[in-house]
Structure 1
Amino acid sequence: MNRPRRPDDVLYPPGQVVTPLLLATRAADLGLDIAVRQASGQRIDTDEVLELLATEVALTHSARFGLQTTVLR
């Protein structure tokens, strides 16, 4: 049985190291790109918005895990 897919599995293949800085940079780039295109009147694709949402969720999970690890230490 396959495990449920997590947002970071969609963005990066399993086994690749994903750091909070990498996720934050990707989210900022995606958000800026979407904002600029929307301001210029271009159509925004649903997949792009979902990718931004998945990146934000993965960043939140990563930050929460880092906080838990720090508190446990």
Structure 2
Amino acid sequence: MSNPRDVPFETTHLIRDACLCLHVQRAARALSRLFDDALRPVGLTSGQFSLLNALNRPTPPSIAPV
């Protein structure tokens, strides 16, 4: 395995500027903060809101498929 110090600093800048994965992660964090701000008045985080929506079903799931 290479030593992290072997990577030139210019490469770090190239990755920062061109890496789609990093850009998508930053966008996701920014959106999550926006949703957290919007949900704060009702005392929920965006993660809790997502979980509540995933659990909201007209009938409970059967244990048979498990």
Instruction: Give the TM-score normalised by the residue count of structure 2.
Output: 0.39
Higher relative contact order (CA 8 A, sep 6+): 1
Instruction: Give the TM-score normalised by the residue count of structure 1.
Output: 0.35
